[in-house]
Amino acid sequence: MNDDGSHSLEISQMRKSFGPNQVLKGIDLTVGKGEFVGLMGPNGAGKSTLIKILAGVYEASSGTIRLGGSAVRSLADSPDVGFIHQDLGLVDWLSIVENLSLGTPPKRLFGPILNKRAEREEARRALNRVGLKLPVDMLVGDLTPGEKTLVAVARVFDRGAKILVIDETTSTLPPAEANRVIRSLSAAAESGATVIMVTHKLSEILDASNRVLVLIDGELVHDTPTRGLDRASLVRMLMQHEAAGPGADSLAAGRSAGEGIIELRDVWLGKLGPVNLRLNAEEVVGLSGLPGSGLHDIAFAVNGNLAPDSGEVIPLRPGLKRALVPPHRESQGGFSTLTVRENMSVSALPRWRRIGRLIDPRRERSECADIAGELSVKPRSIDTPFDVLSGGNKQKVIFGRALLRQPDVFVLCEPTRGVDVQTRSEIYRLIRELTAKGAAVLVASSDAEDLFSVCDRVALVEDGRLQPLRHVSELTASELELMV
Ligand SMILES: Nc1ncnc2c1ncn2[C@@H]1O[C@H](COP(=O)(O)OP(=O)(O)O)[C@@H](O)[C@H]1O
Ligand SMILES: [Mg+2]
């Protein structure tokens, strides 16, 4: 067998059902050495399911997997294949070096004496490969999300993987950190590794991949070389069931704002300040900034989660209600042991109170189901455990929770992080509906497209300072691009 065949991956007629839900409907796919394959598709399309079958987490209902020509049940036992799942699989309370050596045979000097020095040396080399300069004794829990991802990448390389399978690990990272991860994956592909990466980010696909797969409703509907594609053609491939793309969502330009709803006056908070900001009804204000700029602290201050060190947060309406979509939905958002319905209704329960403390369960159900339907949460049933939802669908449920509260002010941190192209345009449409109904919306996002697409006024947060707000309609696209 030649070297090229030795780690080619062939999948044929792979099917998978969860109960009555047919999630993969006969996938055929061959991936050769050195390919960088981008796997895209709407939330709930079956991408993670496919990858979990390859990883041996789930068993396919039928179909075959071949690695280097031999039939295998999964790729889990092959030293040539490494997986990085959405939840990275790192242990926060262990150090980097301990995480890197987890599950590998310990290095021994002789007999039972471990060679700690060799382990640390190797850990340093592994970090170097992915461009991380951190002490190997640092606890993984103290790393930024991007650094954690790079440690997970380093661990996979360190074990000699020649095929890397990465499920949406970049979608929750700030752009600069995502770029670091993509760069180290590209470098691996250039030196002969095979990379299969799930992402919703068009720019990552266009920059890094040489082949794009699109999975929709459990079927591979596109398999094309990346060369020759641009953003518009990719969006068309992804939205083949949808008439209008995000491009059709034009700016809400020229609308005038309503009355003031809430105001930050001379707010100082940690390294943030002074911040003066007034949010008005019927208006979307968009703030952007680098991680650590204080961007999300402004959002938390508006929502009342963080009290300012000095200055005031002044509600301009009696009984003002606020709702927050937090930036890290995995850790700050959902309750994994509850259902979709429970996750949505948790902060709106008083609305369905009939007499005393009794909740009207029928109204609760029907309102949750309406919102889940409007957001096209998949699977359809609101009794689904939150746990089994894909990342993008989790985001929709957290969004649904904010909607159910019917607040005067929506504070949306990274509202489109990790969602697919179609959900993104649904979320933009929803945000515009909210303001049409009189709400004030604050979007705090590191994604330029969020500012372009829904905001009326935008500003940068730089080193704790809020720059002056400007109307989006006054900015040119390139000025806006420069802002992020
Ligand atoms: N363990 C599970 N039990 C039941 N349904 C599941 C399970 N895992 C995934 N699903 C369902 O399979 C479908 C595809 O999910 P997933 O593969 O996570 O989508 P993607 O990664 O493309 O967003 C969804 O409808 C999801 O709810
Ligand atoms: Mg997924």
Which CATH number characterizes residue 472's domain?
A: 3.40.50.300
Does residue 48's CB lie within 6 angstroms of at least one atom of ligand 1? yes
The CB of 218 under 6 Å from ligand 1? The reply is: no
Residue 307 has pLDDT above 90, yes or no: yes
Mean pLDDT of 281-305: 90
Does residue 180 lie in a domain region?
Answer: yes
**In 3-state terms, what secondary structure has residue 446?**
coil
Give percent above pLDDT 70 in the chain: 87
Distance 49 CA to ligand 1 centre (A): 6
User: Within this chain, do residues 151 and 266 fall inside the same structural domain, yes or no?
Assistant: no
Q: Say whether both 207 and 265 belong to one domain.
A: no
Domain count, the chain: 2
Any domain includes 247 = no
Peptide bond before residue 106 is cis, with ω within 30 degrees of 0: no
State the pLDDT at residue 55. 92
Phi, psi of 147 (to 5 degrees): -65, -40
Cα of 390 to ligand 1 centre, how many Å? 6
Find which of 173-177, 301-305, 392-396 is predicted with most confidence, using mean pLDDT. Answer: 301-305
The band of 243, judged by pLDDT with boundaries at 50, 70 and 90, is very low
| Mean pLDDT value of segment 172-181 | 80
Evaluate if residue 133 carries a pLDDT over 80: yes
Give the per-residue pLDDT at 240. Answer: 59
- Residue to mutate, 388, 419, 423, ligand 1, most ligand atoms under 8 Å from C-beta: 388
> Would you say the CB of residue 390 lies under 6 angstroms from ligand 1?
yes
Number of the ligand 1 atom closest to the C-alpha atom of 43: 23
Q: Are residues 184 and 276 in the same domain?
A: no
Nearest CA to ligand 1 atom 4: 18
- Structural domain including 72 reads 3-241
Which of the four pLDDT bands, split at 50, 70 and 90, describes residue 107? low
Q: Which residue has the tokens 């794009």?
A: 212
Does residue 252 belong to any structural domain of this protein?
A: no
The answer to whether the CB of 436 falls within 8 A of the CB of 410 is: no
Contact 99 CB / ligand 1 (< 6 Å): no
Do 149 and 276 belong together in one domain?
A: no
pLDDT exceeds 90 at position 124: yes
291 and 368 in a common domain: yes
- Residues 278, 344: one domain? yes
**Are 327 and 453 in a shared domain?**
yes
Residues 162 and 303 in one domain: no
More confident: 63 or 101: 63
Structural domain contains residue 249: no
405, 160 Cβ separation under 8 angstroms = no
Domain identity same for 14 and 133 = yes
For residue 444, tell me if it sits in a domain. Answer: yes
**Domain shared by 212 and 270, yes or no:** no
Within-domain flag for 254: no
Question: Are 233 and 265 members of one domain?
Answer: no
- Whether 268 and 234 share a structural domain: no
What is the C-alpha separation between 208 and 196, in angstroms, rounded? Answer: 11
Is the pLDDT at 96 greater than 70? The verdict is yes
Q: Report the C-alpha gap between 29 and 36 in whole angstroms.
A: 14
pTM of the model: 0.68
**More confident position, 369 or 361:** 369
